[in-house]
Amino acid sequence: MELFKRLNYKYILSSIIVLFLIISIIQQPSLAINSAKEGLNSWFNILLPSLFPFFVLSDLVISIGFVDFFGQLLGSLMKPIFNVPGQGAFPLLMSLVSGYPVGAKLTSNLRSKKILSKTEADRLISFTSTSGPLFIIGAVAVGMLNSNDIGLLMLLPHYLGVLTVGLLFRFYRPNTNLNTKSKKTFSRNSNSPSMNPKVKPNGLGNIISKSVQDSMNSIILIGGFIIIYSVIIDFILILKPVNQLNLLFSSWFNIPVEVFEGFISGFIELTTGCKKISSSNINLIYKILIINFLIGWGGLSIQSQALSFISDTDINPKIFICSKFLHGLISSLYTIIIYLLGYRNLTVRLSSISNFINNPNIFESWTTILFNSTKLALNINISFIIFSLFIYFLNSSIQKEK
C-alpha cells in the first residue's frame, strides 16, 4: 500500500506507455521497423543538415557574449513590448526563421548561462517556440495542400499568434524585478564552464568544441524523439478503441473519419497530422484552420524535444505547454479573421510542384541542405547584429532630440 502511495501519475503513465510499446513491438515488429525507419530518414536527411548549423552558430554567439552585448542594445525594443531583456530578441528571431525546436533550446541556453532570470525565461519561453516558413509554406501550403496562394493565410496567423501570446505573458508576475538574476547555475551539464574549472570559458577552442558537442547531443536527442513518436503514432492509429472513437465522432459531426485521425496524429506528431488533414475530404478553409492549430500546438513530439532542453533549467514547463495550446487557438482565430478580410473568394490553384512529403526526390541533397542552412544561419546572425546596431543608433538619436 505504501508503494502505491509513493507512485505518482507521471510514473504510472510513463510505465503504461512503455509497456504498450513493448507489447506492440513484439506483436507487430515489421510495423515498428518501418515506422522507425521513416522517422530516421526524416531526421537524417532533413533535420540533421538543416538544424545542426543553427545550433552550433547560435551557441557560439551566446557563448562568446555577442547576444548579451547586443541584447543590451535591443532592450528598448523588447522590454516595453514583451517585458523581457533585449537578449530575448535572438531566440525569437532564430525561431521565426528556422522553426522548432531552436527557440526553446536558445531560451534554455540563455537561462543556463544566467543571462536571464527565471521570470524572464518563463515569459520568453512562451513566445520563442515557433515553426519556420520553410515548413509552413514549403512543406504544408505548397507540398501538402498543393497551393501557392495560401502561404500568407498560414504564415501570418502563426506569427501573429505567437506575438499575441508574448504580449499576454508579458503580464506574468509583473512585480518581479527584471534585473534580479539567480546566483545559482541551473545547468546540469557538468562540462559547462561554470561547473568545471578546468575548462577555460574564454578559450575559443574550448568554446567551439563545447558548442559542437552540445549541438550534436541536442540533434541526436531530437532524432530519438522523432523515431520513437513515429512508432507510437502508428501503433495508436491501429488500436480498435481509437478507430471506433473516430467512427463515432465522424457519425456525430458528419465529418470524414480521416479528419479525426489527422487531428490525433497531429496532436502527437505534427508532420504526419498535417499530411492526413491535407488529404481529407473537407473544405480548404477547414483544413487550414485545423492545420494552423496543429502547427501552433506543435505536437507532443516537438514539445518533448523542447521540454528536454527546458528540463536542464528551472523554466516552468507548464507555462510552455499552456502557451503552445494558446498559440494554436489564437492562430486559428487569426486564420478566420484574415480569411474573412482577404481570402473569401480564394480558389485553389494547383501547384506544379509535386507532393513535398510523399515524393522524397523533392528534397535537395544532404550536403546542399547543410550548405544552405549554414549560409542562412550566418545571414541571420549578421542581420541580428546589424538590426541591433540600427535600433541602438535610432534610440540614441531620439533621446538626443528630446
Q: What is the pLDDT of residue 5?
A: 52
Q: Are 305 and 100 in contact (CB under 8 A)?
A: yes
Give the pLDDT of residue 124: 94
pLDDT of residue 234: 82
The domain limits of the chain are 25-173+187-401
Q: What is the mean pLDDT of each run of 10 residues along the chain (402 residues)?
A: 55 75 82 85 78 80 74 78 88 84 90 90 93 81 79 91 94 66 41 38 74 85 84 81 78 81 88 85 90 94 90 91 96 94 63 40 62 76 76 73 66
Residue 247's φ and ψ, nearest 5 degrees, are -65, -35
Please count the other Cβ atoms lying within 10 Å of the Cβ belonging to residue 178.
15
Q: Per the confidence metrics, is the pTM higher than 0.85?
A: no
- Res 128: pLDDT: 92
How far apart (Å, rounded) are the C-alpha atoms in residues 300 and 229?
Answer: 8
Cβ–Cβ < 8 Å for 91, 298: no
- Specify whether the CB–CB gap between 166 and 125 falls below 8 A: no
- All cell numbers assigned to 281: 475530404
SS3 147: strand
SS3 298: coil
What is the reported pLDDT for 59?
Answer: 79
